[in-house]
Amino acid sequence: MIEHIVLFKWQPDASPEAIASVMDGLKGLKAKITEIIDLSCGENYSERGQGFQHGLVVRFADREALKSYQAHPDHQEVVAQLIKPILTDILAVDYEIT
């Protein structure tokens, strides 16, 4: 199993509606991309978040499933149309669950 974790830092002028659209778009990927075993995302409330405001966690069966997800047109559309226009910084971690 692979755990894919992404943290997002938004531009200061990113509207709550634009951020909500990102979260909705990400949540919608679970129904569109069969390689996704589980997906959750939401607002960070930790004081240790170093400015990262939202997080995404996606679980896959293996590395090939993660690669398929990353290349999937629906994922690419969410990234290009919703995330990149309001993104300031991003941090991603992928690891095998043992």
Low-confidence ranges of the chain (pLDDT < 50): none
* Phi/psi at 97 (5° precision): -85, 125
Joined tokens for residue 76: 């690419």
Domain residues of the chain, as ranges?
Answer: 2-96
H helices of the chain, where? 16-32, 63-71, 73-78
Q: How far is 23 from 39, CA to CA, in rounded Å? A: 11
- The pTM score is 0.93
Joined tokens for residue 33: 């991309």
Share of the chain above pLDDT 90, in %: 99
| 2-96 CATH, one of 3.30.565.10, 3.30.70.100, 3.40.470.10, 3.10.580.20 | 3.30.70.100
Half-sphere exposure of 57 (CA within 13 A, CB side): 9
Query: What pLDDT is recorded for position 98?
Result: 86
Q: How far is 62 from 55, CA to CA, in rounded Å? A: 21
Q: How many angstroms from the chain centroid is the CA of residue 98?
A: 22
Query: What pLDDT is recorded for position 62?
Result: 98
Joined tokens for residue 51: 């400015």
